[in-house]
Amino acid sequence: MDTMQKYLSIAQDLTNKIKHGQYTEGTLLPSETILANLYGTSRATVRKALVELTENGLIQKIKGKGSVVLDTAKFTFPISGITTFTELNRNQQMNAVTTVLALEDRPLPAEIMKQVGRHLDPAATFIQRLRTVDDEAIVVDEDYLLKSVVPEVPEIVAQGSLYEYMEDTLNLNIAYATKTITVEPMDEAICAKLHLETANLAVVVRSLTYLNDTTFFQYTRSIHRPDRFKFVDFARRKHLVAKKF
């Protein structure tokens, strides 16, 4: 097993132990030295595995203490990265199921056309998917994929990972996305799907995603139950260095 496979294997094993309560909220994980001995690897490999857990919002490293297990009742969706639900399901072992609710031709919404350029052909494939974890509905994803970039989306692809299909089959180079996060009231159809109760409010993440050559190709609206998700980003303060003249 190479180093990458090793640290990912350790990260998945630790994730599974956290999810099943072997390491509980507020407790410390074993030290890097103990984990290295436990998994028969180097501290550097263990450190990479712990970084993976940190990025997934499962632990917080505290200088002089170690890695503290965080609340895992909510699933973590990193905001700054471009990560698919399938990848999150695999990394966080969420035991999730995807149900395709709609797969049809539908033009890109007019308000999005205004943002990305009126010159674009609005023809798109619309995909609406319900995500459930342990038989509990937690998110509705709505994607518009421009046909000029992704001509068709087979149903088996809509059931799985769109990005794996686009990258591995269509050889597209997905590069970056801009995202906005709001809390909004939902219509009756969404409320029924997600079993919303408190003021019918949901967390909505809108994404505009681009290829490496800056070509826009995807608009996504992800509607999350606010009681089942937390959103994690990492920010580092920049310290200004005074210049002497």
List pLDDT tens digits, range 122-172.
Answer: 999 999 999 888 788 989 999 999 999 999 999 999 998 898 899 999 999
Residues 156 and 80 in one domain: yes
Residues 175 and 151 in one domain: yes
pLDDT at position 28 is 92
Q: Both tokens of residue 120? A: 């674009």
**Would you tell me how many other CB atoms lie within 10 Å of the CB of residue 220?**
18
Q: Cα separations (Å) of 157 from 162, 178, 205?
A: 6, 24, 22
Residues 17 and 112 in one domain: no
Q: Does residue 105 register a pLDDT over 90?
A: yes
Q: Which of 173, 176, 186, 174 is nearest to 142 (CA)?
A: 186
Last-in-domain residue among 12, 38, 69: 69
Cα pseudo-dihedral 22, 23, 27, 28, rounded to 10: 130
Residues 108 and 227 in one domain: yes
What kind and span of H or E run contains 97?
strand 96-105
Residues 109 and 137 in one domain: yes
Cα(7)–Cα(154) distance, integer angstroms:
34
243 assigned to some structural domain: no
Residues 200 and 84 in one domain: yes
Last-in-domain residue among 69, 98, 125: 69
Which CATH number goes with the domain that contains 200? 3.40.1410.10
Q: Which of 93, 129, 92 is nearest to 232 (CA)?
A: 92
Last-in-domain residue among 13, 44, 69: 69
Q: Both tokens of residue 147? A: 């046909």
Residues 61 and 181 in one domain: no
Give residue 59's pLDDT band: very low, low, confident or very high (50, 70, 90). Answer: confident
161 assigned to some structural domain: yes
167 assigned to some structural domain: yes
Residues 59 and 82 in one domain: no
Going by their DSSP bridges, the two strands 75-78 and 59-62 should be labelled as: unpaired
Residues 133 and 43 in one domain: no
Residues 122 and 215 in one domain: yes
pLDDT digits (tens, 9 = 90+) for 28-37: 999 999 999 9
Residues 56 and 124 in one domain: no
Which CATH number goes with the domain that contains 45? 1.10.10.10
pTM of the model: 0.65
Residue burial 191-216, b: 16+ Cβ < 10 Å; e: rest: eebbebeeeeebbbbbbbbbbeeeeb
pLDDT at position 4 is 67
pLDDT at position 127 is 97
Domain count, the chain: 2
What kind and span of H or E run contains 224?
strand 216-224
Residues 57 and 166 in one domain: no
Domain membership of residue 225 as a residue range:
75-231
Q: Are 149 and 172 in contact (CB under 8 A)?
A: yes
Ranges of beta strands (E only) in 6-95 are 59-62, 66-69, 75-78
